Structure 1
Amino acid sequence: MKNQSISHFRDIHVHAATVQEWNQDYNQLTAGTAESSLIQLSTGRCHVFREQINQRVVQHGVAPRGKMCFAVPITAPGSIRMQGREVDESSLFFLHGGEEFMFHMPMGMELLAITFERELFEQALAQTASAKEISQLLRQPVIRLPAQRYADARRRMLAAFSQALSNEEFDNAQDRELELEQAMLGELLQLMTDPACDKQQRSPSSTRSFIVEKCHRLATAELNNVPSVDELCQRLQVSRRTVQNSFRSVAETTPLNYLRSVRLNGVRRTLMTTQASRLSIGDAAAQWGFYHLSHFAAQYQELFAELPSHTARAAINDRAPA
């Protein structure tokens, strides 16, 4: 059975929660009102979505279990990191089901994501002449592809997605679901079996990405005692200049702004999933290491273009996510 939706958002947290089956947080890093679009379509064995966000975002979460997850950049106007690898529009992203991920998405980026049931993908893979080589290739999260062939395949995948969305009879036609699944499978497998695709390629995670991701985790793990940038430098045994350069390269911002923004996003998620009568703004801010309410409110407004008092809280009948 197919589910189809076209949504527009002015909050990345609502956007993230609307992506079917994905357990993830989006953290807005650049200042201003978020504007995003999300188009999704699900068949019985495949979920395809196209998303675009006007702000720089870092995504952190776990890929859906029992799946094989691919993402195709459509436009990539800035520095992108996927699992610590520097990527561009000639890169295919891949995650195994249940794998934790961190993805740095630049302002205005648009991508197409395709998630298959593992059994469906493995059956199709077994029918290719390069099954063993592709399995080796899928041990890494970023696969470099021939630019022109990738561009042609991307165009065909987007056309197949658009056609499936516009077909009014899609709900009642299993053959249409199969057509979409086979189109997406065929394009991806053909790209990876292409002789011009280097089957031996390796893309190690960069040191700069490791530093940013380690700082991200440390800053969100100890909210009652948030480490300063200097303390993070000491823990990682690297210089302040190295940390500064790492954040500039990976996230196009300073470590102070990045880590504060991630915690402000945490407050926003907390406010949106709790009732005002049960948790005050001050207590929500304190949970994320903000103890000076006036400073916090100014920083919050600067990042999200609204005061925390204007952020929609959970209604009385709403249940906070588990």
Structure 2
Amino acid sequence: MNTRTDRFNDVHLHATSVHGWGQTYSQLSAGAAQCALSQFSTARIHAFREHINQRVVQQGEAPRGQICFAVPLAVTGAARVQGRAADDKCIFVLQGGDEFMFHMPMHMDMLSITFERDAFERAMSGAPWPSGIDALLRQPVVQVPGHRLAESRKRLLALFNAVIAAPEEVFTPEAEQQVEQAMLGELMRLISDPACDRTQRHGSSSRSFIVEKCHRITVSDAANAPSVEELCKRLKVSRRTVQNSFQSVTETNPVNYIRSVRLNGVRRELMATCASELSIGDAAAKWGFFHLSHFASEYQELFMELPSQTRRATRVNLARQTATA
């Protein structure tokens, strides 16, 4: 049993600290980031609870060979998971290898549990689950009965907190297996509840599709940031449609969103390199910022620090990262 609890003042450090996940977090709302991450792992599951005070877009790929569940503990604003509207009355499901994009509101609090796929399928094959479960698990957002979700959320969180608080009590393979089975059983009871509609089909919204396409266009050619007019032409939609899409999905306008994604890109560049290897100006230029005074002001407004105050990598840390890669 491996357990760990961390606090960060940067969403990038938070994202890279989630064991086994290849993902990028970009901070969208202005202010100092405050992130909390607790996690534990056994041979067959990885569970983690994350809380971030800022609005964040998460992008990456779910761990291959796994099936991943997320139970929101608090959703305080507009949230989109794989283009679907999400709230605190649903759970999220990702299949291993799935690319994902989550738009999470400020102060999002979430408990995620990732199961080794083969072990999960063996557990399913040994129980008489109702028809439709397989199709339901292919939906990224699953609406579940509110009272059942509240009960399951309480039990799952209590179990998670107990392991984090006293990992020494889960020191044998038998004890680990009990934890695994308890978490798996709780989730399966939740989605097999007779009140759970196993025919639900919630498609991705056109507004989410527009935001995701704009995001991918922005990061695919970072040095040449597209204007809103250029995005409208490429997507063949009106400016009002783009504006409304971003406001609905991200709670900001497209100019602010695109600039924030690019500023996050610069920040990751700075944190991943030594000052002697990459200058602030060169890092900014890689993401399309060529007026350094404007760039520094926008960077400070978003992250509450100047680019020169961002902690850079050291040669020792880079050597360690290379050795463990």
For the aligned pair, the TM-score class normalised by the smaller chain equals over 0.9
SS in 2 for 1:245: helix
Provide the C-alpha distance between the structure 2 equivalents of 1:245 and 1:140, rounded to a whole number of angstroms: 26
Give TM-score scaled by structure 2 length. Answer: 0.96
Q: Deviations over 1:77-100 (max 9, x none)?
A: 000000000011111101111110
Provide the C-alpha distance between the structure 1 equivalents of 2:61 and 2:131, rounded to a whole number of angstroms: 26
Q: Which residue in 1 is equivalent to 2:24?
A: 25
> In structure 1, what residue type is equivalent to 2:123?
A
Give TM-score scaled by structure 1 length. Answer: 0.97
Q: Which residue in 1 is equivalent to 2:107?
A: 108
Q: Which residue in 2 is equivalent to 1:84?
A: 83
Q: How many residues align?
A: 321
- Cα distance, 1:308 vs. partner? 0.2
Which one is further off, 42-51 or 173-182?
173-182
Q: Which residue in 2 is equivalent to 1:184?
A: 183
Provide the C-alpha distance between the structure 2 equivalents of 1:160 and 1:172, rounded to a whole number of angstroms: 15
Q: Which residue in 2 is equivalent to 1:175?
A: 174
Is 2:254 the counterpart of 1:255? yes
SS in 1 for 2:218: helix
> In structure 2, what residue type is equivalent to 1:294?
S
- In 1, are the aligned partners of 2:3 and 2:167 still within 8 Å (CA)? no
> In structure 1, what residue type is equivalent to 2:222?
L
Q: Which residue in 2 is equivalent to 1:314?
A: 313
Is 2:51 the counterpart of 1:52? yes
Q: Which residue in 2 is equivalent to 1:72?
A: 71
SS in 2 for 1:81: strand
- In 2, are the aligned partners of 1:71 and 1:93 still within 8 Å (CA)? yes
> In structure 2, what residue type is equivalent to 1:142?
V
- In 2, are the aligned partners of 1:164 and 1:176 still within 8 Å (CA)? no
Provide the C-alpha distance between the structure 2 equivalents of 1:69 and 1:131, rounded to a whole number of angstroms: 20
Matched ranges for 1:114-153 at <5 A: 114-130=113-129, 132-153=131-152
- Cα distance, 1:172 vs. partner? 2.2
Q: Which residue in 1 is equivalent to 2:207?
A: 208
Matched ranges for 1:90-101 at <5 A: 90-101=89-100
> In structure 2, what residue type is equivalent to 1:238?
V
- In 2, are the aligned partners of 1:170 and 1:177 still within 8 Å (CA)? no
Q: Which residue in 2 is equivalent to 1:237?
A: 236
- Cα distance, 1:168 vs. partner? 4.6
Amino-acid identity (%): 58
Q: Deviations over 1:180-238 (max 9, x none)?
A: 11111001111111110111110100000000000000011112322100110111111
Provide the C-alpha distance between the structure 2 equivalents of 1:167 and 1:119, rounded to a whole number of angstroms: 28
Matched ranges for 1:275-294 at <5 A: 275-294=274-293
> In structure 1, what residue type is equivalent to 2:89?
S
- Cα distance, 1:296 vs. partner? 0.3
Provide the C-alpha distance between the structure 2 equivalents of 1:10 and 1:224, rounded to a whole number of angstroms: 27
Provide the C-alpha distance between the structure 1 equivalents of 2:104 and 2:296, rounded to a whole number of angstroms: 26
Q: Deviations over 1:72-120 (max 9, x none)?
A: 0000000000000001111110111111000011000100000000011
Q: Which runs of 5+ in 1 are unaligned?
A: none
- In 2, are the aligned partners of 1:271 and 1:281 still within 8 Å (CA)? yes
Relative to structure 1, the CA distance from residue 162 to residue 287 in structure 2 (aligned partners, 3 Å threshold; closer, same or farther) is same
- Cα distance, 1:145 vs. partner? 0.3
Q: Which runs of 5+ in 2 are unaligned?
A: none
Q: Which of structure 1's runs of 4+ aligned residues deviate more than 3 A?
A: none
Provide the C-alpha distance between the structure 1 equivalents of 2:167 and 2:65, rounded to a whole number of angstroms: 30
> In structure 1, what residue type is equivalent to 2:105?
P
Q: Which residue in 2 is equivalent to 1:160?
A: 159
- Cα distance, 1:127 vs. partner? 2.1
SS in 1 for 2:121: helix
Cα RMSD of the aligned pairs, angstroms, is 1.2
- Cα distance, 1:140 vs. partner? 1.5
SS in 2 for 1:58: strand
- In 1, are the aligned partners of 2:22 and 2:63 still within 8 Å (CA)? yes
Q: Which residue in 1 is equivalent to 2:2?
A: 3
Which one is further off, 166-175 or 72-81?
166-175
Provide the C-alpha distance between the structure 2 equivalents of 1:274 and 1:103, rounded to a whole number of angstroms: 27
Which one is further off, 131-140 or 144-153?
131-140
